[in-house]
Amino acid sequence: MNNTPEYRRYVAINADDRSLSIEQEPIPIPSAAEVLIKVSAAGLNRADLLQRKGLYPPPADASPIMGLEVAGEVLAVGADVSNWQVGDNICALTHGGGYADYTVAPASQCLPIPTGFSMAEAAALPEALLTVWHNIFQRAALQPGEKILIHGGASGIGTLGIAICKALGGEVYTTAGSDEKCQALQELGATRAINYKTEDFEQVISGLELKGKINVILDMAGGDFIQKNINIAAPEGRIVYIAFIRGFSAEVNFAPLLIKRLTITGSTLRAQTFAQKSVMVKEILEHVYPHLENGTIKPIVDRVFPLNEVEQAHAHMRSGQHMGKIILEM
């Protein structure tokens, strides 16, 4: 840790009004299985907004500081770390603590920065990569030639998910909240993007003669989408929930679940073990990284904010106007 300052800047949540401020504290020392990273960029996630509100408390062993993904330079490695060295440029899924100019991350959750990627682009990868891989490919087992509907296609997870599914042989449909976003998502690789504010996605899918033919659905909306997802799913279809922005509750007719033998599942990434995430990282390196390296897949960065404009970055995410990832730059 030569030439490393003693203190780091980080974003604190003020307990009284949940406002944000930049504070200082000693730089963390990596444990035996961790690396210390000089952070260049950090990705924003909806989980950060929930944590700020007190609705998504970090696990007991996690950093209380917001931020789940970073890109930067390795400054120090723990005693048990052999796959990374001081000076390596990496991106990482952190165990909290990403909204800081120095942070630690489990070595098993670090990834190389793909050739030609900026730090901002690299910081847009870890959370979305692991979320997409785990839910679409591990949980839902999407196969080449199958049809997938990704709700919230303009999000960081949605945009990367569309690109990955397309590259790995899926036929992708998606929803988004404006005609401009829908056009951009079709250019990204979606066969049809549906403006959920002006179109009923169940009716559009039916009009395309695809009702009962959608093999996998990735949903972060919930609420009134739940019944419609069941209605359009194919026999043996898999529906995966990763959030419920439109509500946790709905009145649902589950009869099609029996008739079509559907699987309905869900997950959050943060609650899973380091061992589970390590498997995701290994599979991503094998199956997705070749497409990142050759330029077939690239994350979409919406805007980059300096660390001291974190309030504005959060406001931009809350507005829902973004497409792709919002990044903090240190």
According to DSSP, residue 300 is labeled P
Q: Residues 116, 150, 204, CA angle at the centre, nearest 5°?
A: 130
H/E stretch holding 232: helix 225-232
- pLDDT tens digits for range 41-84: 999 999 999 999 999 999 999 999 999 999 999 999 999 999 99
- Cβ neighbours of residue 16 closer than 8 Å, sequence gap 6 or more: none
Q: Is 255 helix (H, G, I), strand (E, B) or coil?
A: helix
CB atoms within 10 A of CB 44: 30
In whole angstroms, give the CA distance from residue 292 to residue 170.
17
Residue 308 is predicted with a pLDDT of: 96
Tens of pLDDT along 233-246? 999 999 999 999 99
Which positions of the chain have pLDDT values less than 70?
1-2
Whole-structure pTM value: 0.96
3.30.420.40, 3.20.20.100, 3.90.25.10, 3.40.50.720: CATH of 129-266: 3.40.50.720
- Per-residue burial over 103-138, b if 16 or more Cβ lie within 10 Å, else e, is bbbbbbbbbbbbeebebbbbbbbbbbbbbbbbbbbb
Q: Quote the CATH superfamily of domain 7-125+301-329.
A: Medium-chain alcohol dehydrogenases, catalytic domain (3.90.180.10)
pLDDT tens, residue by residue, 1-11: 457 789 999 99
Domain ranges of the chain: 7-125+301-329, 129-266
For 59, the token pair is 């696990």
* 8 Å CB contact between 142 and 168: yes
Of 279, 287, 224, 234, whose CA–CA distance to 257 is shortest? 234
